[in-house]
Chain A
Amino acid sequence: GEDVEQSLFLSVREGDSSVINCTYTDSSSTYLYWYKQEPGAGLQLLTYIFSNMDMKQDQRLTVLLNKKDKHLSLRIADTQTGDSAIYFCAESKRDSSYKLIFGSGTRLLVRP
């Protein structure tokens, strides 16, 4: 199967929290990332977490890592229409020179 898996689509109402989930298969992953891609643009790094951490918070973004289940999530608090985009989960490992392995992306639609 895929190294990194994500659900394809998520729709939330403006002001609600969004939770985007990701699973990965390689327990030796060193870093896990969340990227955002807006229409017509490249990818923008939102945040990353080292594999020995459980949680990282950055303003409206909270990343949770469950190493046992190989599950990563991105929570966006107070979701705004400007948060509508595709969100990519990615992993990297020291033994593959930290190449990024991406999931297929989750399209987040924020409804007014």
Chain B
Amino acid sequence: ETGVTQTPRHLVMGMTNKKSLKCEQHLGHNAMYWYKQSAKKPLELMFVYNFKEQTENNSVPSRFSPECPNSSHLFLHLHTLQPEDSALYLCASSHGTGKTYEQYFGPGTRLTVT
């Protein structure tokens, strides 16, 4: 138990659906991250939020829309996804950014797009 929870753990959605992934951290951290983990590819950073402000968008398609209402919660809103978006989506948090702050990862949401 790392103090970072993600829901749902598994999600199957059609290409026309709209769904959201949720991440919550109970560690008092100020920075939160979304990563995409695809089979046989390196972990890809998608978004970074620091003190609720987005500080990084790693050229992510607009069909992925992040939201960070406060430092403890992070959402990833999904709409009109493609089958190649099927992956494990990992959330992480850390005390801050800009130094070697340890990132604590959640267990991930396994997303399948049909």
List residues of A whose CB falls within 8 A of some B CB.
2, 4, 8, 30-31, 40-45, 48, 88, 92, 97-105
Contact = CB atoms under 8 A, between A and B. Distances in A.
Interface residues of B, number: 24
Contacts of B91: 42
A86 B4 CA distance: 20
A2 B43 CA distance: 12
B92 A88 contact: no
Interface of B: 2, 4, 40-43, 45, 48, 55-56, 90-92, 97-103, 105-108
Contacts of B2: 42, 44
B42 A42 contact: no
Contacts of A92: 100
13 contacts: A30-B100, A41-B107, A41-B108, A42-B91, A44-B2, A88-B43, A92-B100, A97-B56, A98-B100, A101-B42, A102-B42, A104-B41, A104-B42
